[in-house]
Amino acid sequence: MRSLDDNRPGHLSTSTKEASVYLLASIAINASIYFLYRSTGLSAEYPALGSIVPWIVAINFSSISLIVSFSRFAKWNRHLRRTATLDLLTSLIPIALIWGVRLARWGEATNQLIGLIYVLYISAKGFVLVWHASTNVTERNSSAANAWVFTVSFVIYAAVTPWIALSAWPDGDEPHYLLLTHSLVADRDFDLSNNYNQGDYKLFYPPELTPHHALINSHGQEFPIHDVGLSILLVPGYAVGERLGAMLEMNLVSAFLALGLYVLAVSIGAPERSALVTWALFAFTSPLIILSSLVYPEVVGGACSIWAIIAFTEFVKSRRRMHLALAGLALSLLPWLSVRYWVIVAPMLSVIALYIVVQEWRSDLIGKLKSVLVLGLPTALSLIVFVLFDVHYYNTALPNAGYFLRVAAMQEPLFTTDIHVGLLGLFLDRAYGLLSTAPIYIMSIAGALVMLRRQPWVGATMVFVSGAYILFSGMSRFWYGGWSPPARLICVGAVLLAPLASLVISNRRVVLISGALGLFSVLLGVAYTAFPLTRYTVGFTGALSEFIGKHLGFDYGVAFPSMMRGETVDYQLAALWAGLSMIYVWFLVKPGRKLAS
């Protein structure tokens, strides 16, 4: 029998017999996991373990099925035997978990250790699947690579979801988004008064849900202050599986966003392997790995924004108005998700329209006007529908009426003149900052400088839109996002820049630093996923760093500033990290370096 690692033209795919061996081995491992769990009698004592065992079986079978399927239909045979063996070995990790629980019975720490080992198991699966893609992807099998990226992303996100659903209630604004979805499914209306009064939220949030995130009209009806787009979107998932179904639907959107990271990286000129590394680093670290299983609009907003950019890049290459229509359609959905996303819509429409006027291949004014109309018409129609919706429910012609009416009723201003506090906090705050929880985004900043040189119009669109959104978020008194996970408010701006890291990610002169940043980001992503309650912070020290300090004896958070506190030492730490970041960026973009290979 020939080696499955043979890449000769005659060796096209694994045989049916070999595929059957891998699948039968997976079935045997899964059966062992299930019967071992049943024989231990741990179901009553540790329900968390029982809840994830079916998901473990599904993950194991999905991963080996992916490997075998792509071998047969996409001819991904390079290192196939090695990959299949590694995948089957990772499938054995849950057996060690079950035996460990049975023998050690770690007391109060049992659920924490179950979460940690389960997430490490998912990470091991993800590593094998990413590595398999990196050894097989080529320019000629881009469709297969796209399918692989989307499917693997969904499998990883969906694997995380049951643990999050089991170990943490929805928090912050999540239960209010879910309650509106429940009302749409159960009552088919936007009136939340009966849902709050009847305690319908107890299906997914056992405590009392106060205060109500709603506005009361003269008839005693309560309409949401949050924009309704996300709740409407989640109706199918919630109708099938309530909160878990809604979370799985969020996983699906998150996988679409993760695919966008890869597609855009390739579209702007990154080599396929650099694009894959970028996808793996940014899709499975904070904030995306956190928000992929939470009910917030950020993932949907990020997906719409990044695919709008992809459509624009395709228009630049093909000059086909269809791509302008697709970009406009993606942007037209954003205002329904959050009023904040107007700061994405307006700058992106403006830059693309400016490109049409300046660079459009047609010289006549009519052609340019047609292109601008194709771009802007979906947003105009969406705005008209939004106004009619708000006139009907809120008695005002303002879009995003719930939010505007709530802000009008606030006794304190929403924005502040201390913009520096918000901007430093958004990037460097120990609990809420983007770079303190996922320092790989420094590479995106460097990639933006490279992109502006290589493709000025596309680069300017990404940088200008992202910069405008981040600046707007920094102007808010609530730059940290209130009771929410880290970097939530700038997630959409961040993911627009993430693919740009692919342009510098292969710089070998700083490979050790880049590797350290990547490892730190991955470890924090694992920790936030294994211990979901650490996503929410009270006080000046990050909940995750406090948790690690309590259990391991060191608090890494003290190395970063707390802009919530804003003392002299915090500004000193902020200046230190900002300076080190600029030096690193300089090395990444310094002329004469090999930026990508």
Q: DSSP string spanning 456-522?
A: HHHHHHHHHHHHHHHHHHHTBTTTT-SSS-TT-TTHHHHHHHGGGGGGTTT-GGGHHHHHHHHHHHH
pLDDT in tens, 559-573: 999 998 999 999 999
Please report the pLDDT score of residue 44 as a whole number: 66
Residue 538 has pLDDT above 80, yes or no: no
- Owner of token pair 């940014």: 282
Q: Give the mean pLDDT of 207-235.
A: 93
Between CA 380 and CA 391 the distance in angstroms is: 17
Q: Are 471 and 340 in contact (CB under 8 A)?
A: no
Point out the least confidently predicted range of 8-12, 82-86, 423-427, 589-593: 8-12
Distance of alpha carbon 47 from alpha carbon 26, whole angstroms: 24
Strand, helix or coil for residue 216? strand
Residues 6+ apart with CB under 8 A from 295: 170, 174, 177, 178, 230, 234, 243, 246, 247, 250
Tokens of 211: 């205060």
Instruction: Check if the beta carbon of residue 402 is closer than 8 Å to that of residue 223.
Output: yes
Question: Residue 224 is inside which H or E element, if any?
Answer: strand 222-224
What token pair was written down for 378? 């979906």
Which class for 241: exposed (0-12), middle (13-18), buried (19 or more C-beta within 10 A)? middle
Which pLDDT does position 550 carry in this prediction? Answer: 87
Question: Is the model's pLDDT at 2 over the cut of 70?
Answer: no
SS3 at position 180: helix
Cα gap 513→446, rounded to integer Å: 14
Check whether 595 has a pLDDT greater than 50: no
- Residue type for 1, please? M
Which of 46-55, 103-112, 211-220, 240-249 is predicted with the least confidence, judged by mean pLDDT? 103-112
Kindly indicate the confidence band of residue 9, based on its pLDDT and cuts at 50, 70 and 90: very low
**pLDDT at residue 43 greater than cutoff 70:** no
Nearest to 115 by CA among 171, 165, 48, 61: 48
Structure confidence at residue 3 as a pLDDT band (50, 70, 90): very low
Q: Decide: residue 105, CB within 10 A, 0-12 exposed, 13-18 middle, 19+ buried.
A: exposed
Residue 105 has pLDDT above 90, yes or no: no
pTM comes to 0.94
Instruction: Return the pLDDT at 14.
Output: 56
Phi, psi of 491 (to 5 degrees): -60, -45
Give the pLDDT score at 100.
78
Task: Provide φ and ψ at 118, rounded to 5°.
Answer: -65, -45
Run of H or E including 63: helix 47-73
Spatial distance between the Cα atoms of 475 and 423, rounded to a whole number of angstroms: 8
Residue 10 is predicted with a pLDDT of: 38
Query: How far apart are alpha carbons 526 and 112 in whole angstroms?
Result: 12
Across all residues in the chain, what is the average pLDDT?
91
597 CB burial (10 A radius; 0-12, 13-18, 19+): exposed
Question: Where is 214: in which H helix or E strand?
Answer: strand 214-216
Task: Tell me what the mean pLDDT of segment 143-166 comes to.
Answer: 96
For tokens 């904040």, the residue is 340
Q: How far is CA 360 from the centre of its chain?
A: 34
More confident residue, 150 or 553: 150
Label residue 11 by pLDDT band (50, 70, 90): very low
Q: Is 328 helix (H, G, I), strand (E, B) or coil?
A: helix
Percent of the chain residues topping a pLDDT of 70: 94
pLDDT at 472 over 80: yes
